[in-house]
Structure formats: structure tokens, C-alpha cells
Chains A and B, each alone.
Chain A
Amino acid sequence: MNTFIAKYVLDYPKTIIIISILITVILASGIRNVRIEEDLKEMLPEDLPSRQALNKLDDVFGGSDVMLIAIANENETIFNKGTLAKIIALTDSMDVIPGITKVTSLATAKQIKGQEWGMEVIPFLEEVPTTKDDVDNLSKIFFEDSLYVGTIVSADGKYASIIAVLSDDAETSEISDIATRLKAQFEGPEKIYLSGLPVVMTHSTKNIRGDIQKLIPFVLLVVILILYLSLRTISSVILPLLATIMAVLCMVGMMGHIGEPFMLVSNIMPVVLVAVGVAYGIHVMAAYHEELLFTSEKKVALSKTIEHIGTPVLMAAVTTMVGFLSLMTAPLPVFLIFGTLLAFGVFLSLLFTLTMIPAILLLLPLPKKKTVKNREGLLDKLLIGLGNYILSFRKAIILFGIVLTIIFAFGIPKINIEMNPLTFFPETSDLRQANAFVDEHLAGSLNINLLFEGDIQSTKMLRAMDSVQQFLEQYPETGTTMSLATIVKKINRSLHADDPSFEIIPENNEAVAQAILLYNMSGSPEDYEQFVDNSFENTQVTALMKSAGTNRIAQIANQTKQYCQDNFQDISIEITGLTVFIKDLAQIVVTSQARSLVIALLAVALLAWLTYRSWKIGILAIIPLSVTIIFNFGLMGFTGIDLSIPTAMISSIIIGIGVDFSFHLLSRYKLELQKEHSLSPIVRTIRTVGKPILFNAIATGFGFIVLMVSGFVPLRFMGLLIFLTMLFCAFGALTILAASLTFIKQNKGA
């Protein structure tokens, strides 16, 4: 096949170049259609029960995302004319923004008050109180009515919040921008904080865009530097770069054509492709320059280059594609897109490298001969030393490898799974600070929504809701819970002369319906429309939770679900909300991670088996990979790097790229076994192939380390981890794999 490519490419270089440009132009034309997806929920599979429940919730109640504006007056309390005026103004300003369906604050909340003659529903704060007495009275009334304490005003009175519910089709970023302007306008002396998922989403859009703008030039710079340092001619820098950039343009264009947006994780695809793809160019250019030492005939040198380097480069690309494609087995759409599109990008990168680069080289004048020989004598010596060392201490090295693996394996159970999108942002960010603030002083901003279906105006349903609320409230992480049951209890109490012992669900269904009728007449159905639909068939219990670790969140969500199943089997209850998403994500990521890993390892072993016709080699090929993966996860466990969506993909990337090192070593070793030489085959293998392997690892590793300037914390760790694992894997191939190989040879020879 290599000869076929070589012949065709070198006979029609211009056609090849034109076709390459055409492919690029056609595919890249999709770039203008590429958009950024800000909705983090889009990361979840459509058929996940919690996502379907959320769609239903959005459908019934017109939206469920909550944005929270917190006002702090720590010097006194929020109960003063100035701060109260700001609460009213902020509430009014939020209320008129299109896309906001409901605003709850001290300025909209109503007090349900039982009187001797009946029930009153009175707004707490319609207009700014004029006298000090009125202010004090408001504060007194508010704290007597326990319904909203801790939610819209903190228990100590120093903090107030304005909670806005967004419609499902709201322009999140616009609303977030308006809120940011309002914050600037009203801040001082009070402090104002913005929190909630819409704010997180807006920040993540900014970060995704920022990452794309910042990381691509950065990775190109790094790659140019590495290309120049390793190959030292202008054409060796430009051509691999050109092939890679064309592949990136095609890949991103393809996203536009198939309508896939950039999201968190997929925003680093260009960087990954540059880091991976440029290595193929390095191999071709290096081989070409090597061939030119023996001939000055361009065409001969190029066809030799393709013949020699074609298979290893092809194998490297295929295994990388396998690694990426193994992500397809994950149910997360973002993994699927990431995996398939990157595999596609790698394929194009390979195609351009093996066809267009030789075609251009053929048309370019012959590069000046360079007689840089043995410049890396030191490295050669080191590698020979390493080879000898490995040969003499091969048992010790394998034992050391095993011990190291065992040690790192102990770190794996310590891994903390973290899927809360908030933790993707640095702790110093405004977003994290605002959230910490809301968690500390107010009810929190992570929500759990329980969707109940059936006859809502029945005691059975309301009692179930009430029990679930009480169940949730026993967790210290629960800030507050709200539902129609809360309101009905309050009405019942007020109908019984405000006797607290009557703050319970009334005795029969008629009483429930009539309590609601009374409320309708005294207050307004609008006050509870966020809880119940018009036909009283669907209702929701909402709970605001403080941020906690994903494990804890998963525990709470699971226990709540179990509680519903154990106690109310005959009531349709669906559980959803950001909290449940986080739990589901964690579950999906961990299981799919394990599956992709096994599939990728098996696929790579199979490929090695087929290529080298030996199952022993197949197994050996995956040894450095397995050790590296254990090293990676162990490191994460010991250093406390969270397993999140991006870091979960590392193992697939390691397998896809790291296996190249094994392959290079194995094919060279096979070659060296057939030769007679004073040095043993393994030493010769390490000496010749050690350098390209190390260069390759360094080039790819440094390509990934660019991710450390990303705006997302997990992407930073991903960059660092891939950098470390690349080096580790290369070293593992050169030591553990090499040492193991010597045993195979003995077995075979015996």
C-alpha cells in the first residue's frame, strides 16, 4: 500500500495538492456555522430519566433554572430604607426582563396571616417604609412568619436574596449581562453577588470562547518551537504545521456542517489535534531528511520515506483513532462528539501528512544538505547506557514496575469524583466566591426538583409532598424546601386562628381544595403557579441545597429517591434538578470511563497481535499503557485531582497516543532481532528508537500542557496529567516494556 501511495502521490503531486486544498475548503466552510453551547445540561444524554423529567418540568412550569442575586449589608441589616429600596428596585428590574418568569424576594413575598375574622395575605414589602417604626415592624413580621426566613432574608437579617426563575427559552447570557449591570448599579455600601446555574453557564461560555482564542495560538507557538528545535529547517516547521492546521480547519468545519457546538471539553479539540497530528509530520520530515543523506534524488528519497515511515505512522494514527473512538461507547453526547470528530481529524491529519506533504516536498527545491552528525552523542550514550542497564537489571526493573504500579493502585480508591459544574471554575473566581457566600448565608443555589403527578388537591398527595420535604430538610445541606403543601399548611393554620398545631395538611380532599380556594380569593394563584399547573395534575417540590461534594450530593439524591420508592410507590414522583444531574453524570462518567478503557486496551492489544502476529506481543504492548493509566489515576487520587468530565477522558487519550511508543519499540526490536551486532538487540532498539519516542512524547506532552492556561480547572489538570503521563508512558515503554521483551525472546529461543 505504501508503494501505491508513494507512486500515485509522486506522479501527480499537483493533483494531490489541489484535492487537499479542495477538501479543506469544502469542510472548513462549515466553520461559520459553529456555535458555542452554553447549556451544561446539553452534556447529558437525552434519554436520561432525570433529563426527561427536567424537560417535563420545563414544559409544565415554563422553566426551572434559577438565578440568584444576593445583597449583603453586613454593617447593620438589610432592614433599613436604603437596602429595602434596592431590594424593590432590583426585583422590579429583574421582573421586566424578558425570559424571567417569576421573581421571588422580600418585595414579592406575601405573608399568610390568620385573623379572628379570616385570613389575610399581605405583601411584606410593597413600597419602602417611611418611618423607622415601619422598618422595625417589617423586620418583626418577617421573622415571625417562618416561611421565608433563610430563603429571601437570612436568619441574622444581614443578607437578602432575589430569586429569579428563567423560562426554558430564555437568553441566559443576556439576562446574566443585565444582572451584572444591575449589580454594578446597585452595589455599595451593600455588596451584591450573582449566583445560580445561568451565571455559571454564562461564565462557561466566556471561558469556552476564551479557551479557543487563547489556546490555539499558544499550542501553535509551542509546536513551532518544538518542530524547529527537533528538525531545524523552515520547511520542516511549515509543512507539518500546515497539514495539522488544515486538519483542524476541516474538523471544526465538520462540526459546523453537522451542527455540533463547542461545549466544555470539546473546546479543546483543536489543541488536542494539533498536539497529536503534528507528530506524524515530524516523522515524515525526519525520515525525508534521513533519506536525503543517501540520495539527492527528491522522488527517490520521498518514495523511500513513505515506504519506511508509512506503516508506523499509519499504525500510530490508527491506534490514536481507536483510543478516541473508544469514547463513542460512552453515553455522554459530548464524549461521542469529542471521540468521533477527533478520530476524523486524526485521519485527515494522517492523510495530509502522507500525501500532501510529500507532494509539496517534491515541488520544492532540494533542501540544503546538512551534515549535522552525532550532535546528540550525549543522548546516544545515555540511551545505550539505559539499554545496558535495562538488560542487566531487567528483573529488578520489572519488579520495580510492579511495586510502583501497586503503590499507585492504592491511590485509585482515593479519587474524588466531582461533576458540579461550579467546581470547573477556580476558587478565586467571582462565581465561586458568590456561590460560597450564598451557601454560607442563604439557602444555597443547587436545586432538587421533585415532580408529582396525580390529583394534587388531595391529602394523600400533599402529605407525601410534605413528608418528602421533611425528609430532605433533615440534611444539613438543605437550605430550604417549598411546595404547595407548605402553603396549604399555612392556610390551614390561619383558618384555625393561627394555632401552630394546625400547620398540617387538612383532613380531607375537600378541605384542601377549599383552603386553596380561600387563598385564591385572598392572595392570587400567581403566588403558587411555579408549584402547580393549571389543572392541578402536576406539582413540584423544590429544594435549594448548598454545594457539597458530588459523592454527598449523590448520596442525598439516591436516598431521597429510595425514600419516595419505599413510602409512596403508588404516587408518580420524578426527581430531577441540577443536584440529580450531577449524580447521574458521575455515574455515567465512571461506568463509561471503565468501559471505554477496557475496549480501547483490548482494541490496541488486538491491533498489536494482528500486526506482529503474536498474542504475547499484543499483551506486552498494553503493559506500559496499563501501568501509565494506573499511575495517572493513582496520581489523581494521591494529589486530590478530581475525576470530572475532562479528566475522565485522559485514559482514552493515553491509550490512543501512548501505544505509539510501544509500537515504535516493538517494530524496531523485531527488526533488530534479525540483525547480528555486537550490542544486544534491546540496547540497539533503545538507542535508535529511544530518541524519536522521547521527542514524540515531549512534543505531544508540551502540546497538551498548553491546556494549563485554560479557564476551566479540570482542563488545566487534564493538560498537566497528559503531559506527565506522556513522559511516564514513553519511559515505561523504554524500560518496563523493553525489560519484558528480553524475557519473551528467551522464551521463544527456548
Chain B
Amino acid sequence: MNKLILLLFGILLLGIVAFPGNANAQEKLTANQIMERVDTRTYPVDMTAMMTMNLIDKKGKTRIQVTKTFRMSDKKQIMWFLQPANIKGSSFLRLSYDDRDDDMWIYLPAFGKVRRIASHAKSGSFMGSDFTFEDMGDRKLKNYTYDWIKEEKIEGIKCHVVESLPTEDVSTDYSKIISWVRLDADLAIKEEFYDKKGNLKKIKTVKLEKMAKYWVPALMLMENLKSKHKTEMIFSEILLDTGLDEKVFKSNYMKRIH
């Protein structure tokens, strides 16, 4: 009990210390400049990792999926399912383009078929998780207008809070996204997604890790506020810039785990 009070007190104190407006911001950046920095941040040329996905329902029941994933820049991605056993060998390939919608394929060994996934399936779930394809892809800079809201610290890290509103003809599931961008990494570590009716629908939080000169996500958590379902993506065995061969990102490579 005493410990609890102490803890609460500590949290309160932390809040007081952390929140008085840090007026000593180096230079004032506009919302657009911030998001431009995010868009043009330096990517690893390629990345290999194991991704463990915990699908957690509102009662805390968890289902685990494990994939091996290869990425090249932010344009190409292939992943093979390792777990659970009944989908082992299934794979997913995604190719992104600057000027058109992504191409996506899925390979299902039980049917022996590679199938395309319709590009308009943006609201489709990424591997049955709370992340949609839209959440997993990068947003195109020009598709949104930005507004700077405030500065706020998250776990002691200073963030710029930026509101993104989609422009007229962008196909998206969301009416508004609010991002907490940390400028030392040029990445958002928290995002709130609002549905078409303006209600807060999902919250994403990201744990970043610095590897060599890159900031890479080690953990991403997406919570669906309506279904109270959440998905945790944990990246491990991360290897960067190993010189992956570009030909891996082809559909014939989907049928065999690399």
C-alpha cells in the first residue's frame, strides 16, 4: 500500500518535472518540415529480422505468429510465416511505388497458389493483426496537410505533436492522424488514428532502437479502442545492410523460405 502511494507520488512528481513547457526548443520547425524530415529520414538499405506478432484479445488471450522478414529500403518487403504450423510456408510480398498503389501477393502452400491481394484492400488486416496494410505502409507526404499542435514529452523524450489531415482524394481509413514525432530519430513513437466519424479508433506506440546509424523499431503496439484487441510486433535478430539480393523480392521466391 505504502509502496503504491510512493509510486503514485513519484509519477505525479515526474509529471510536474516533465511537463512545464520546455521553452528552450532549439529552432521552431513547421509541421510540414517535421513531416518532411520523417519522410526523408535515412533508411537502412536492407533489413533482415524475425518478427513475432502477439495478437492479444481483450481478456489477454494471446495468439502468436512468427515470420521471417526481408526488407529493402521502404519499397520492398517479403515475409515467410514460420509459426503457427498450419500456415508455415505461407508468404507475403509487397512492392511499393511512388506513383501508384502497392502490389501485394500472398502464397498459400496448401492451395499451391500465389494470389494477388487487391490494392484497394488498404483496410485489410496485416496478417490478421490490428495493423492494416495502410498502417504498415508509409504515408505519402503530399497526401496530407499538417498542423503543429504542441510539444510533449513521452517517457522523457521530447516529441512534436503533429496533426495530419488527408487531402480530398486520398483513399484512407482515417479522418485524422496525430503523431508524436521525436526529432532525434525523425520517427513517430506514438500515433492516434481517428475513424471517418472522427472517433479515436486506434493508438500505436513504438519503441525505437538505435542500430549503427539507424533508428529501427524494436517493438510496435497497436491497440484497437473499440474491439479492445491489440497487436504487439516484436522484431529480433535484426540485421542491417547485409547486401540482400534484390531478386528475393519476386513471386517465385515466395514458395521457399529463405
Contact A522 B87 (CB under 8 A): no
Closest residue on chain A to residue B229 by CB atoms:
A534
Cβ–Cβ contact A521 & B124, under 8 A? yes
Q: Which 10 A-B pairs have the closest CB atoms?
A: A534-B57, A118-B115, A513-B86, A520-B128, A511-B110, A510-B110, A118-B116, A514-B108, A117-B116, A524-B125
Proximity bits, B213-232, A CB within 8 Å = 1, else 0: 00000000000000101000
The complex places the Cα of A526 from the Cα of B224 at a distance, in Å, of: 11
Q: Using known A-B contacts A457-B86, A534-B229, determine if residue A522 contacts B121 with beta carbons closer than 8 Å.
A: yes
Known pairs A122-B120, A536-B63. 17 more at Cβ < 8 A? A96-B197, A96-B199, A118-B106, A118-B116, A118-B117, A495-B113, A513-B84, A514-B87, A517-B128, A518-B108, A518-B115, A520-B128, A521-B127, A525-B125, A525-B128, A533-B57, A534-B55
Secondary structure at chain B's binding surface: helix, strand, loop or mixed? mixed
Q: Which residues of B contact A (CB under 8 A)?
A: 55-58, 61-63, 81, 84, 86-87, 90, 92, 104, 106, 108-111, 113, 115-118, 120-121, 123-128, 132, 197, 199, 227, 229
Asked if B197 and A92 make an inter-chain contact with CB atoms under 8 angstroms apart, the answer reads yes
A517 in contact with B90 (CB, 8 Å): yes
Contact A509 B86 (CB under 8 A): yes
In the complex, whether A719 has a CB less than 8 A from a CB of chain B is: no
Q: Which A78-103 residues sit within 8 Å CB-CB of chain B?
A: 92, 96
B84→A521 contact, CB < 8 A: no
Q: How far is the CB of B114 from chain A (nearest CB, A)?
A: 9
**Contacts A510-B109, A536-B63 hold; do A520 and B84 have CB atoms under 8 A apart?**
no
B87–A511 touching, CB < 8 Å: no
A122 to B118, CA, bound (A): 10
Asked if A683 lies at the interface with its beta carbon under 8 angstroms from chain B, I say no
Task: Judge whether B87 and A510 touch: CB under 8 Å.
Answer: yes
How far apart are the CA atoms of A117 and B90 in the complex, in Å?
Answer: 17
For the complex, give the distance between the alpha carbons of A512 and B110 in Å. Answer: 9
Tell me if A311 is interfacial: C-beta within 8 Å of chain B.
no
Residues of A within 8 A of B63 (CB): 534-536
* Cα–Cα, bound, A511→B111 (Å): 7
- Report yes or no: B117 in contact with A529, Cβ–Cβ below 8 A: no
Q: Contact partner of A495 among B111, B117, B118, CB < 8 A?
A: B111
Q: Assess the A506–B127 pair: CB atoms within 8 A.
A: no
- List the B side residues contacting A358 at CB < 8 Å: none
Whether A508 contacts B110 in the complex (CB less than 8 A), given A117-B115, A520-B128, A522-B124, comes out as yes
In the bound complex, do residue A521 and residue B57 qualify as a contact, i.e. CB atoms below 8 Å apart? no
Does residue A120 face the partner (Cβ distance < 8 Å to B)? yes
Cα distance A200–B61 when bound, in Å? 34
A624 located at the interface, meaning its Cβ lies under 8 Å from any Cβ of chain B in the complex: no
Could you give 22 example pairs across A and B, Cβ below 8 Å? A92-B197, A96-B197, A118-B116, A120-B118, A495-B113, A495-B115, A510-B86, A510-B87, A515-B108, A517-B127, A520-B125, A523-B125, A524-B124, A524-B125, A524-B132, A525-B128, A529-B229, A533-B57, A533-B61, A534-B55, A534-B62, A534-B229
Contact B92 A521 (CB under 8 A): yes
Set of chain B residues within 8 Å of A522, measured between Cβ atoms: 117-118, 121, 124
A314 within 8 A of B: no
Q: Which of the residues B108, B199, B227 comes within 8 Å of A517, measured between beta carbons?
A: B108
Contacts of B84 in A (CB 8 A): 513
Q: Mark A115-126, 1 if CB is under 8 A from B, else 0.
A: 101111110000
Q: How far is the CA of A524 from the CA of B229 in the complex (A)?
A: 13
- The residue from A92, A118, A514 contacting B109, defined by CB atoms under 8 A apart: A514
Q: Which partner residue on chain B sits nearest A496 by CB separation?
A: B111
Q: How far is the CA of A506 from the CA of B106 in the complex (A)?
A: 18
A508 CB contacts on chain B under 8 angstroms? 110
Q: How far is the CA of A603 from the CA of B175 in the complex (A)?
A: 72
Q: A118-B115, A533-B57, A535-B61 are in contact. Are A521 and B125 (CB under 8 A)?
A: yes
| Chain A hits for B199, CB < 8 A | 96
A513's partner among B62, B87, B117, B229 (CB-CB below 8 A) is B87
Q: Give the number of residues in A that approach B within 8 Å (Cβ atoms).
A: 36
Q: Most chain-A CB neighbours within 10 Å: which of B58, B118, B127?
A: B118
Q: Name the distance in Å between A61's Cβ and chain B's nearest Cβ.
A: 11
Give the contacting residue for B126; candidates A513, A521, A529; CB below 8 A. Answer: A521
Nearest CB of A to B14, in Å: 33
- What's the Cα separation between A396 and B225 when bound, in Å? 79
Report how far A506 CA is from B84 CA in the complex, Å: 18
| Minimum CB–CB distance for B117 against chain A, Å | 5
Residue numbers in A under 8 Å from B120 (CB-CB): 122
Mask for A407-451, Cβ within 8 A of B = 1, else 0? 000000000000000000000000000000000000000000000
Enumerate chain A residues within 8 angstroms of B61, measured Cβ to Cβ: 533-535
A517 and B124 form a contact (CB under 8 A):
no
CB-CB under 8 A from A533, the residues of chain B are 57, 61
Shortest CB distance B158–A (Å): 35
Q: Which of A499-557 contact B (CB under 8 A)?
A: 506, 508-518, 520-526, 529, 533-536
For residue A494, which residue of chain B has the nearest CB? B115
Residue numbers in B under 8 Å from A515 (CB-CB):
108, 111
Q: Given the complex, which residues of A lie within 8 Å of B116, measured CB to CB?
A: 117-118
> What's the minimum C-beta distance from B225 to chain A, rounded to whole angstroms?
12
Q: Are A521 and B109 in contact (CB under 8 A)?
A: no
- In the complex, what distance in Å separates the CA atom of A176 from the CA atom of B18? 46
Docked CA distance A118–B104 (Å):
11
Contact A121 B111, beta carbon cutoff 8 Å: no
A362 to B137 alpha-carbon distance, docked (Å):
92
Report the minimum CB–CB distance from B212 to chain A (whole Å). Answer: 32
- B106 and A517 contacting across the interface, CB-CB below 8 Å: yes
A506 / chain B contacts, CB cutoff of 8 Å:
110-111
Q: Which of A92, A508, A526 has the most CB of B within 10 A?
A: A526
Q: Give Cα A529 to B128, complex, Å.
A: 11
B92 CB, nearest partner CB in chain A, Å:
7
Q: How far is A118 from B114 in the complex, measured between Cα atoms in Å?
A: 8
Q: How far is the CA of A457 from the CA of B110 in the complex (A)?
A: 14
B60 nearest CB neighbor, chain A only: A534
Tell me, in angstroms, the Cα distance from A526 to B127 when the chains sit together: 12
State the Cβ distance, B65 to closest chain A Cβ, in Å.
Answer: 9
If the complex has contacts A118-B118, A121-B124, are A534 and B106 also in contact, measured as CB distance less than 8 A? no
Report Cα–Cα, A400/B62, bound state, in Å: 74
A500 to B249, CA, bound (A): 34
Identity of the chain B residue whose Cβ is nearest the Cβ of A60 in the assembled complex? B59
How many angstroms between the C-alpha atoms of A518 and B61 in the bound complex? 22
Contacts of B118 on A, CB cut-off 8 Å?
115, 118, 120-122, 522
- Least CB distance from B233 to A in Å reads 15
- With a cutoff of 8 Å between Cβ atoms, the chain B residues found around residue A516 in the complex are 128
Q: Bound state CA distance, A433 and B208, in angstroms?
A: 60
Least CB distance from A130 to B in Å reads 15
Which residues 460-517 of A sit at the B interface, judged by CB distance below 8 A?
Answer: 495, 506, 508-517
Q: List residues of chain A with CB within 8 A of the CB of B124.
A: 121, 520-524
**Cβ–Cβ < 8 Å partners of B58 in chain A:** 62
How many Å lie between the Cα of A529 and that of B125 in the bound state? 13
Q: Is the CB of A514 within 8 A of B55?
A: no
Shortest distance from the beta carbon of A23 to any chain B beta carbon, whole Å: 44
Distance of A92 Cα from B110 Cα, bound (Å) = 39
Complex Cα gap A521–B107 (Å): 12
Are A535 and B86 closer than 8 Å at their CB atoms?
Answer: no
Most chain B CB atoms below 10 A, which of A119, A516, A534: A534
Chain B proximity mask over A287-301: 1 for CB below 8 Å, otherwise 0: 000000000000000
- Chain A nearest CB from B132 CB (Å) reads 8
Q: Please indicate the chain B residues that have their CB under 8 angstroms from the CB of A512 in the complex.
A: 86
Most buried by B among A92, A117, A509: A117
- The smallest C-beta distance from A528 to any residue of chain B, in angstroms, reads 10
The chain A residue sitting closest to B128, CB to CB, is A520
Within 8 A of B (CB), among A364-423: none
Residues of chain A with a CB closer than 8 A to B109's CB:
510, 514
CA distance A529 to B226 in the complex (A): 12
Nearest CB in chain B to that of A492: its residue: B111
Q: What chain B residues lie within 8 Å of A534 (beta carbons)?
A: 55-57, 61-63, 229
With both chains docked as a complex, state the minimum distance between the C-beta of A437 and any C-beta of chain B, in angstroms: 30
1/0 per residue, CB under 8 A from B, across A583-622: the answer is 0000000000000000000000000000000000000000
